[in-house]
């Protein structure tokens, strides 16, 4: 079964059971400061899991693009990916555990769908702890479906609990499904979740029963929801009888391109295998980010920093394969071809994707050249060191100041009979990460889908700001992302040059005039076409479902948006732009506050 066939079978299965197919959302979370990327299928639906009504109804199904960056350094092994697709079906206060598990079992075992062997399926359920009790309901449901007790594993929170995507939000116990690959057990403690490869995770049903609070406590949700996820890449790997995701049609064409460019074969050695995988994964993820409607570009902050890191790591592994010329665009074209008809926004934004990759690749090669020169300057003093060791401090300075990878420092050191204190480098790098994390924690307070009064005020203020910018700067202005906390708003928008003091003052005056007028904020659910006919601004064309929410602020602003917003501008406070600066090429960033 191909990835295309799996996506369609899954969606059709749940449509037949009363679910509405909705479109996947942007890779960049809207108005969520706690994470950089959409990390799971549930992420865009958090407001609805918390209680809002979804325009498409209470039963939903979709395919969601996701990115997880916590294990970038592990990419290259058989299992880690940064970009992946998640199939999901959702119950918003409709059906619960019995129906969800029954349908999962049917889709997995029915010959009409995946047709997996029943006696090779094992499942896990939450064992219970001080926060929540044992999931007896899921356990009983699996028994009723015919899974014997010896293949139902009771596991702790570390294995069978889905925490919120950010620091707070909906969460609860999950029940995971595993398929026995036929590999011999690694020992008497072998069980689903073991890393020996015997048990292959297929699917996860998350039961959103709790809302995690900022103080770490768990409050029961008044009306629980169901959130399920099946990874496209992992599932087709199993269905096709492959050993890992890189041997499926979602990667093999990319590996072939890399082979033709480098002159090496994929399985030539362990090192070439790793480099092929890193390049394929990272260029795919970079292509997805650059092809996203939010228009993120390489930079030294946030999503742009992750994008830059992925691109540079791919170039670094290209150098390891002996690729001296720019090559990322060729691999990106392979990615675009792979997802034609699935993510056509990649084809639509091809020119931007290829040009940004070329710019960043060329810039990094200059960075490497500069770092090489800096190393040469340091070399005489380094050679005088009787221990012939380059300290962690020096190697980290080359990395942090000049972007010079420590692996290259090690290679150059070896050429001159030197070694690098890698432990010292790792310690310096860890301290840098901890400092960065603390800085992010100070900046980004609040939790996922924060619906506090101040956050709603700031969310509403972004609509006012967007319209004011268009009136002052011109119709070319378009939102490229926002980040909202209870203390401030951050708003990215298309504009080619810095704003003048007069322009900033004009924008502030326009926003404050609407606040002083105490305009009402109303919401209407309508079709996307009706919203267009009304003249509503849709920030990300092509990523809305057929039924959408349209928020109107008096006669000043009309936008398609998921919410939440205040009901009136009365009491919003005074709007003040604190900073206006470049975010990336052709994109400006405003930080603003509301004061009493």
More confidently predicted of 543 and 306: 306
d(CA 538, CA 234): 34
pLDDT average, residue stretch 179-198: 86
d(CA 39, CA 23): 16
- Residue 120 located in a structural domain: yes
290 pLDDT more than 50: yes
- Do 175 and 261 fall within a single domain? no
d(CA 280, CA 195): 24
- Do 267 and 156 fall within a single domain? no
- Do 409 and 440 fall within a single domain? yes
Q: pLDDT tens digit string along 525-574?
A: 888 888 888 888 876 555 667 788 899 999 999 998 877 788 899 999 99
What pLDDT is stored for residue 543 in this prediction? 61
- Residue 17 located in a structural domain: yes
- Do 190 and 60 fall within a single domain? yes
- Do 575 and 495 fall within a single domain? yes
The reply to whether the predicted model has a pTM over 0.75 is no
- Do 196 and 48 fall within a single domain? yes
- Do 169 and 62 fall within a single domain? yes
- Residue 489 located in a structural domain: yes
For the chain, percent of residues with pLDDT exceeding 90: 59
Q: Pick the last residue of a domain from 420, 445, 470.
A: 445
58 pLDDT more than 70: yes
- Residue 100 located in a structural domain: yes
Least confident of 219-233, 290-304, 381-395, 501-515: 290-304
* Cβ atoms of 543 and 429 closer than 8 Å: no
- Do 37 and 114 fall within a single domain? yes
- Do 53 and 189 fall within a single domain? yes
What pLDDT is stored for residue 483 in this prediction? 83
18 pLDDT more than 80: yes
pLDDT band at 458; cut points 50, 70, 90: very high
What pLDDT is stored for residue 340 in this prediction? 95
Q: Pick the last residue of a domain from 400, 417, 445.
A: 445
Residue-range definition of the domain harbouring residue 296:
251-364
What is the overall mean pLDDT for the chain? 89
- Catalogue the E-assigned strands of 149-214: 152-155, 161-162, 169-180, 199-212
d(CA 246, CA 281): 9
pLDDT band at 442; cut points 50, 70, 90: very low
CATH assignment at residue 100: 3.30.930.10
- Residue 192 located in a structural domain: yes
Q: Pick the last residue of a domain from 181, 211, 242.
A: 242
Rank 217-221, 278-282, 435-439, 553-557 by mean pLDDT and report only the highest: 278-282
What pLDDT is stored for residue 166 in this prediction? 61
- Do 274 and 392 fall within a single domain? no
pLDDT band at 438; cut points 50, 70, 90: low
* Cβ atoms of 511 and 575 closer than 8 Å: yes
Rank 160-174, 479-493, 497-511 by mean pLDDT and report only the highest: 497-511
pLDDT average, residue stretch 466-484: 90
pLDDT band at 33; cut points 50, 70, 90: low
What pLDDT is stored for residue 443 in this prediction? 36
What pLDDT is stored for residue 32 in this prediction? 64
pLDDT average, residue stretch 254-261: 98
Q: pLDDT tens digit string along 76-100?
A: 887 789 999 999 999 999 999 999 9
More confidently predicted of 530 and 328: 328
181 pLDDT more than 50: yes
What pLDDT is stored for residue 435 in this prediction? 65
d(CA 208, CA 216): 16
Task: Report the relative pairing of strands 547-553 and 20-21 from DSSP bridges.
Answer: unpaired
d(CA 125, CA 258): 42
d(CA 553, CA 181): 57
Least confident of 2-6, 450-454, 493-497, 520-524: 450-454
- Residue 369 located in a structural domain: no
Least confident of 93-107, 321-335, 365-379, 538-552: 538-552
Length of the chain: 596
- Do 473 and 565 fall within a single domain? yes
pLDDT average, residue stretch 580-591: 88
Of 6, 555, 448, 575, nearest to 248 (Cα)? 6
How many domains is the chain built from?
Answer: 4
What pLDDT is stored for residue 31 in this prediction? 58
For residue 496, what is the DSSP state? S
148 pLDDT more than 60: yes
439 pLDDT more than 50: no
End-to-end CA distance of the chain: 60
Please state, as a whole number, how many other Cβ atoms lie within 10 Å of the Cβ of residue 147. 20
Strand, coil or helix: what is 584?
Answer: strand
CATH assignment at residue 522: 3.30.980.10
Task: Report the relative pairing of strands 557-560 and 547-553 from DSSP bridges.
Answer: antiparallel
- Residue 376 located in a structural domain: no
Q: pLDDT tens digit string along 497-521?
A: 999 999 999 999 999 999 999 999 9
* Cβ atoms of 341 and 347 closer than 8 Å: no
- Residue 375 located in a structural domain: no
- Do 335 and 352 fall within a single domain? yes
């Amino acid at each position: 079964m191909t990835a295309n066939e799996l996506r369609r079978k899954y969606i059709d299965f749940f449509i037949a059971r009363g679910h509405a197919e909705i479109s996947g959302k942007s890779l960049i979370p809207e108005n969520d400061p706690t994470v950089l990327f959409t990390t799971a299928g549930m992420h865009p639906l958090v407001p609805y899991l918390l209680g809002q009504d979804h325009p498409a109804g209470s039963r939903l199904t979709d395919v969601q693009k996701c990115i997880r960056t916590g294990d970038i350094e592990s990419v290259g092994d058989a299992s880690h990916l940064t970009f992946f697709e998640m199939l999901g079906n959702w119950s918003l206060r409709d059906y619960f555990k019995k129906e969800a598990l029954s349908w999962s079992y049917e889709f997995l075992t029915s010959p009409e769908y995946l047709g997996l062997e029943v006696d090779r399926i094992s499942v896990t359920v939450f064992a219970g702890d001080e926060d929540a009790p044992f999931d007896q309901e899921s356990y009983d449901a699996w028994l009723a479906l015919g899974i014997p007790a010896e293949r139902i594993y009771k596991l702790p929170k570390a294995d069978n609990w889905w925490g919120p995507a950010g620091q707070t939000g909906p969460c609860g116990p999950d029940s995971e499904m595993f398929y026995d690959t036929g590999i011999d057990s690694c020992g008497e403690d072998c069980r689903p979740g073991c890393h020996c490869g015997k048990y292959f995770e297929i699917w996860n049903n998350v039961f959103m029963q709790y809302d995690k609070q900022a103080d770490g406590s768990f409050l029961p949700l008044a009306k629980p929801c169901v959130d399920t996820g099946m990874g496209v890449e992992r599932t087709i790997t199993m269905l096709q009888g492959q050993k890992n995701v890189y041997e499926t049609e979602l990667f093999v064409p990319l590996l072939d391109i890399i082979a033709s460019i480098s002159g090496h074969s994929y399985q030539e050695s362990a090192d070439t295998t790793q480099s092929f995988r890193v390049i394929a994964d990272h260029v795919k993820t970079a292509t997805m980010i650059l092809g996203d409607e939010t228009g993120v570009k390489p930079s030294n902050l946030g999503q742009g920093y992750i994008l830059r890191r992925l691109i540079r790591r791919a170039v670094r592994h290209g150098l390891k394969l002996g690729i001296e010329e720019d090559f990322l665009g060729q691999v990106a074209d392979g990615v675009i071809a792979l997802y034609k008809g699935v993510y056509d926004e990649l084809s639509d934004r091809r020119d931007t994707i290829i040009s940004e990759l070329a710019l960043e690749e060329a810039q990094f090669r200059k960075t490497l050249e500069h770092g090489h020169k800096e190393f040469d300057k340091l070399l005489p003093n380094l050679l005088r060191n009787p221990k012939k060791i380059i300290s962690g401090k020096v190697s980290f300075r080359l990395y942090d100041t000049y972007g010079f990878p420590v692996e290259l420092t090690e290679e150059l050191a070896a050429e001159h009979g030197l070694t690098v204190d890698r432990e010292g480098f790792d310690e310096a790098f860890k301290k840098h990460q901890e400092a960065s994390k603390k800085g992010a924690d100070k900046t980004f307070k609040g939790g996922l889908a924060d619906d506090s009064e101040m956050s709603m005020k700031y969310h509403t203020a972004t609509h006012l700001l967007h319209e004011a910018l268009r009136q002052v700067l011109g119709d070319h202005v378009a939102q490229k992302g926002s980040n909202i906390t209870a203390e401030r708003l951050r708003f990215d928008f298309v504009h080619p040059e810095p704003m003048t003091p007069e322009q900033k003052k004009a924008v502030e005056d326009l926003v404050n005039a609407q606040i002083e007028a105490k305009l009402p904020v109303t919401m209407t659910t309508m079709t996307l076409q009706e919203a267009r006919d009304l003249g509503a601004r849709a920030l990300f064309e092509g990523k809305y479902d057929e039924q959408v929410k349209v928020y109107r602020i008096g006669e000043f602003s009309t936008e398609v948006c998921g919410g939440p917003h205040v009901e009136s501008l009365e009491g919003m406070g005074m709007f003040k732009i604190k900073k206006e600066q470049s975010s990336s090429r052709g994109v400006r960033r405003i930080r603003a506050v509301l004061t009493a």
